[in-house]
Structure formats: structure tokens, C-alpha cells
Chain A
Amino acid sequence: MSEQNSQNLRSNAKGQPQHVRLKLIGDDKFIEQVRRFASQEPDKLQVESEGKDDDPTRLGFDLMSVSALIVIVKGALLAGDLGMRIWRWMQISEANKIVIQTPFETIEFHKAAALTEEDVRKRLSAVMQLR
């Protein structure tokens, strides 16, 4: 993990543990995995809000139904295996891609790109940093 990312994990000025908000957009299977993980590991991931998209094809999805979750990723998951988790959830997804919005960038992972866990981790780590 980069030095900058480890700095991100420090407490903020108010002494609260550092966390990052992300918006995850994917098909129902992907979203269900995220939701399940959040309910099992609330100290790592918390769902802040949920929504449905009225016409996902306009977002470039190949399915008629996608949902969006705004989640709070907590320090423990940030420091560890967020990239690995997202990669695994993506394998279960039936859509052509997932979209991840971080405060610093919005990106998409295409299933056809056959990304490895390491690819996802690196890209995610990069877009969660202020450049």
C-alpha cells in the first residue's frame, strides 16, 4: 500500500477513524454480495443509502436492472482487502461491468477485461488517492 494511502488511514482532525465513502453501481447479484458483507462485517463496511437506476443502459450496462449503494469503507477494510472483495463480488455479477465512484474519480471495471485481483486493487488504490 502506498505511503499516501496509509496516511489516509490516520484519524482525521476530529479524532475520528478515517474512512472513505464510495458509490458502487452493479447488478442485483453484485449489490447483494456487498449488502451481505456489510451486514456480516459492520466494522468494515456500512451501507449508507441505496437506490435503483431507472435506465441502466444509459450507464452502459447490458442489463435492465442495476442498483447503487453508497457505502462507507472503514479503515480495517481499506488497509486490507477491499480490492480483493470487489474483484470477487464482480465475478458473481452477471452484468458486463461495475461502476465505482470515489470522491476523487469515477471508474468502471469491465468483466471482459479479465482483470486480476491485483489489477483491481491497484486501480482502486490509485483512484482513492488525491492526485
Chain B
Amino acid sequence: MAIQQDFGGFDPSFLGVTLRFASQHSWRIYQDLVESPRPLPLPSSYSVEEMFETLSVTSVVSHEVRHFHDFFLTPYSAYVFRLRIQLLLNIFELLPFIVEGDENCNCLLVPISTWCLLNGTERNEQLDKLPQRTDGKPWVPVEIAYLDQQTLDFKPADRVLLTSSGEPLKKLLAAAIRGRSKIHDLTYNPQTVSEKASFQPWQIFELSGLLIQMQEIWHSYGARETECFTNYLVRSRTPYGGILRATWQMWSSMHRHLDPNLTSAIVMWSLAGSYELDVWEACPTFRFVKVWTHIRKSGISTKGGGLNGLFKEWSMATKLSTVDDGLNDAVKQFRSARDAVEKCMQVKDSFAGENYCPFLFRVLNGVVKACEHMTKQVRENPELYVYPNLYLDSVAKFPNPVMRISADGGYLRSDRSGEAAEPPGHIVEWAIGDESSVASMIVPYRLSDFVFFDAEDVHELALMMELTDFLFGDRARARTNIQRAGRAWFSNGSLRPIEILR
């Protein structure tokens, strides 16, 4: 039987920790872990795969919590998040015009970002290829303007406010498409892609999580189990295996074993590039390659000065921004996202402003506070955050995440019903049309007393973000949560979302 190799997956749409389970089996392991006062046993009869699976489930929370904390410290995350909020506002401004149009329309072609770039002939081709409706009626799509290159190139000075359809609608659509494109530019670096491998910012975030996860296994079990977990990953062809293997090889080339503290320091420095100062050279992959090149040439400095000294030396050697610059940029960008929402709240006749901005402002205020708290902690004592063993010991000093359990690629069966299925503190999303299957579930979780987010708010923001992904996202559409959010939203009306196949 194939085993699940990845139980997490941080997405800033959900301001917390998400654990993903693809089968009842893996979910059961997690439930056993939660109920057990000790680490789960690893019988000698276990195969390597079973060992890996149990060790992964045991340690995945620490890995995901690290992503949650890294998010508040890195300008990369702050820029992506700010763009996502801007995109959300634009799309929610558009929504009434999209769904409250002609009553004769019975379908909306998604993603809209693809549909509005198709001309009349291409649209008819798509409609002609749809299966016949069972009621015999033709497919009548919601009318959405075709965007030519000129409209796409239009750059508004500020947000476009919709008071009527027509040209402003086209400009808002174009702004939404450009917003997605900007996110893509940040998250995908074409300069670090070869025929056989692709090295992207998310892999550096994963390395950060993996170092913590390995430390967690060390804490809970010991050296043999950590070696088992690490060797399995290094041998696997997963993307996690790839980044760990590359790191292993880099240390080997210097005739050294992988040093978790120094690797974590390199990761931290790489993630903390200031886009304000370095523009594209703030990309984590660019910085990672640069600092390794420097270390291979000059070695690790033994001059003293602690981590801050190392960070400064690396910035001087690579002529790139310092970690302190990066922390400043992160705070600035998160504040800027919050301020933009506050500004939107004051705009007269803005649908998004009136209906969603007060809520968004509350959540973004929490984001800013969490970021300020994190940067203060890291400035005071960077070792405590960077060194995996110290981080695990002092994790209660950092913000508390909301925790979500999610079914990956399907649904998890629930043996409870009624109120028992949704006890206090839980927020359960059921499968559409099947109230014995769970799509996702927020569960109570207390790691620290620094609580900046309300679970209901985090849940609500995730649903809004997932809806925008459903309507405009052209990738990762298969995620259960994205499909569910979109289909739930359309389930009460006569309009049906239809996927464009290209």
C-alpha cells in the first residue's frame, strides 16, 4: 500500500496550521497520538514505510507550526499575503456583477481569469464541447467581458471602484488577473528551473519546517528514529527529499555533516530578504544560492558575534539586505495590507468595503500584531527562534495558531452525529450532500498564550480566499477545500460553475 508522505501544507489563506489526511488510516494514527500521553510506539515489526508514516504524523504539527511562525517574519510571505488581500477585495467587488446578472444565465465558466481571455469563437468551442444538460436547455453562460491586451495592460493608480458594469468591470477583471500574475512572479522563480529540477521559494520554507520536524523526532524518540525518518526522505523522490538531499550534499561537499543550527540560520537569512531594498534579489532561492556560494568559498566565520554577527557578515559578503532590513519590510508590508483595508472601508459605495472590510480589518490587525510580536522576539534573541532545539523549547513564546484537520482528496468518515460531531470549539465543514463525511475541521489547540486570531475569523477568511481561488485560480483547483468552497457558494442558486478544460 502506498503511504502518505506529506501531512501538512501551509497556505496563507488559512492563518494557522493545516494537517492533511488522505486516508482513514493516517487520521487514526493522528487520533491515537492526540489521545496518547507518550509518543506512539514503533514496534519492531513495522516496515520502514510504517515507521516513516508514524514518525511523520507524530512530528507534523511542529513542522506546520514553524511555517505559521515563519510566515510573520518574512517579507516574501508579507508581499504574497498583501497581494492576496488586494485580489480578494477586487474579486469581492466584482461578485455582485458576476452573479446577479441576467436571470437566463445558468452557468459560470471558471476560472474566470481564463474565460475572460477567450474570444467569442474560443468560448463557443468550449460551450459546444459541454455535455448536454439533462433539462434539455442550452448552456447560457454569465456574460463576462473579453479582455484584450490593451485592457490587461491598463494599470490603475489605485483600486477600481465599481458603480456600474462596462469599462470599470473590465478594468477590475484585468486588475484581478494582474494580481494573480504578480503572486506567480513572486512564488515562481524561472531562473532556478532546469530540465530535471526546480528550486523555488517554498522549498526553503519546507527546509525550515523539516529541520524543526527532525528535531521534534529527536526529542520524542531519539537518534535512530530521526535517522530512519531522514534517510527515508532523502531517498524518496518527493520535493522534501529533494531539498534535504541538496542540503546534505552541500554540507558533504565541505566534508561536514548536516549542521541543523547553521542550516536553519542559512534558511532564516535566505527567507528574510527585503524586497523593498533588493527587489527580485530578495527572492529566497536567490539568497540561498548566494549565501551557499559564499560559505563554500570562505567557510563559516568563527569571529564571534553570534547569529547576528553571521547574518551581517553574509549580507556584507553578498551585498544583499540584512535580516533586520527584512524584518522591517515584513512589518511594513503587513501594516500596509491592513491600512489598505481600512482605507477601502471608508470608500463610499464599495460593495467589498461595506460588506467585508470591517471583518478583514479585524483579521489583518491580528496579522500585524502577530508580526510585531514575532519580530520583537527574534530581534531580542534570534538563537531562540533559529536553532531548532531552542525553538522547540521556547515555542510558547510565539503566536498560537488555529488548527485545522483537512481531508486530502476526499472526505474523512465521522462516526459521530449531531452535536457530538461538532463539540464546542470545533468548526466542521461537512461534505456537500453527505453529513457523515468531514471535509475539514477546526479543532481547539493551545500552544501559547499569545492569541491573535479567533478561530471563526480564520475560518471565514479561508472560505473567502478559497472562493477567490475557485473563481480565479487556474492551478491546484483539485484541492477539496477549494472545490468545496466554490460549490457550496453556488449550491443555493440556479447558476452552476463549469470548469474550462484547456
Task: Spell out A's residues near B (CB within 8 Å).
Answer: 4, 7-8, 10, 12-13, 18-23, 54-55, 57-60, 62-64, 70, 96-97, 99-115, 123, 128, 130-131
Contact = CB atoms under 8 A, between A and B. Distances in A.
Interface string B395-431: 0000000000000111000000000000000000000
B475 A58 contact: yes
A106 B483 contact: yes
Contacts, number: 126
A45 to B, nearest CB: 15
Contact of A62 (B131, B237, B487): B237
B238 A62 contact: yes
Interface in B201-238: 202, 236-238
B15 to A, nearest CB: 20
Contacts of A54: 193, 198
Interface in B456-502: 475-480, 483, 487, 496, 498-499, 501-502
A62 B409 contact: no
Given A55-B198, A106-B483, A112-B4, A63 B498 contact: no
B197 interface: yes
B23 A112 contact: yes
Nearest to B53: A112
A40 to B, nearest CB: 23
B51 to A, nearest CB: 16
A107 B408 CA distance: 10
B409 A109 contact: yes
B501 A22 contact: yes
Contacts of A7: 134
Given A59-B475, A106-B483, A112 B239 contact: no
Given A112-B22, A130-B133, A106 B410 contact: no
Nearest to B106: A130
A61 to B, nearest CB: 9
Nearest to A22: B501
A13 B128 CA distance: 11
Interface in B1-50: 1-6, 9, 22-23, 25-26
A56 to B, nearest CB: 9
A112 B6 CA distance: 10
Nearest to A96: B5
Contacts of B134: 4, 7-8, 130
A112 B26 contact: yes
Nearest to B241: A62
B499 to A, nearest CB: 6
B390 to A, nearest CB: 30
Nearest to B4: A112
Given A10-B132, A70-B502, A130-B131, 8 more contacts: A58-B188, A96-B238, A97-B409, A100-B478, A103-B498, A106-B499, A108-B480, A111-B2
B499 A62 contact: no
Nearest to A13: B132
Nearest to A4: B134
B237 A108 contact: no
Contact of B132 (A12, A62, A104): A12
A64 B132 contact: no
A80 B419 CA distance: 41
Contact of A60 (B1, B193, B196, B479): B479
29 contacts: A8-B134, A12-B131, A18-B131, A19-B131, A57-B200, A58-B187, A60-B476, A63-B237, A96-B2, A96-B238, A99-B478, A100-B478, A101-B477, A101-B499, A103-B130, A103-B501, A104-B499, A105-B483, A106-B477, A107-B409, A108-B478, A108-B480, A110-B22, A112-B1, A112-B23, A113-B23, A113-B408, A123-B410, A131-B487
A105 B499 contact: yes
